Amino acid sequence: GGTDREVHVLMASDRDQFPGLLVALLSVARNLADPSKCTLHLVVGSEEMSLMDELLSCFRSELRDLRVPAPRVELHEVRWPPFNITRFPTFMTKDPGVDDNLWGYRKPLIWTKVYPHHYLPSLSRVLWL
C-alpha cells in the first residue's frame, strides 16, 4: 500500500557535480508515484546559487518533454558544521603535507548528509541522496 506522507529528499552539490545532480533529480522525479507529494531540497554554496536557475530550468524542461510533473524544489545555502573543520589533521589529505588537497573533509558541503536537521529542522524524516 501507499502512503499520503510528504517525501523530502535532501541533496548537496557543487558546480563540478551539477551534471550528476541533474541526472539524480530527473531520476527521482521520473520514479515518484506522486510528484506533488515530494519536495527536493538542494544544498549548494552561495557562489553556485546563481547557477541554479539555469539548472532547474533544464530540469523542468526535461520533465515537460517527458510529460512528468515536477516536484517542488527548495534551495538551501550550505552551512558550516557545528565544529571547526579547518583543524582536521593533515593525515586526512590525499598527499600528506598538501593542505589544499584534502578529501573534502574541510569543505562544509560534505557534512550536509550528517546534519540534515540544520537545513530542515521541522522534519522528522528526510531521505539523503
pLDDT in tens, the chain (129 residues): 455 689 999 999 999 999 999 999 999 999 999 999 999 999 999 999 999 999 999 999 999 999 999 999 999 999 988 887 777 665 555 555 555 545 566 778 888 999 999 999 999 999 999
Total domains present in the chain: 1
Supply the pLDDT for residue 5: 85
* Within a domain: 78: yes
Instruction: Provide the residue range defining the domain that includes 39.
Output: 7-128
From CA 7, how far away is CA 72, in angstroms rounded? 10
* Within a domain: 56: yes
* Within a domain: 2: no
Supply the pLDDT for residue 110: 84
* Within a domain: 81: yes
From CA 35, how far away is CA 29, in angstroms rounded? 7
Q: 50: which residues sit within 8 A by CB, 6+ positions away?
A: none
* Contact status, residue 5 vs residue 123, Cβ threshold 8 Å: no
* Within a domain: 20: yes
Based on the number of CB atoms within 10 Å of its own CB, is 40 exposed (0-12), middle (13-18) or buried (19 or more)?
buried
* Within a domain: 1: no
pTM of the model: 0.83
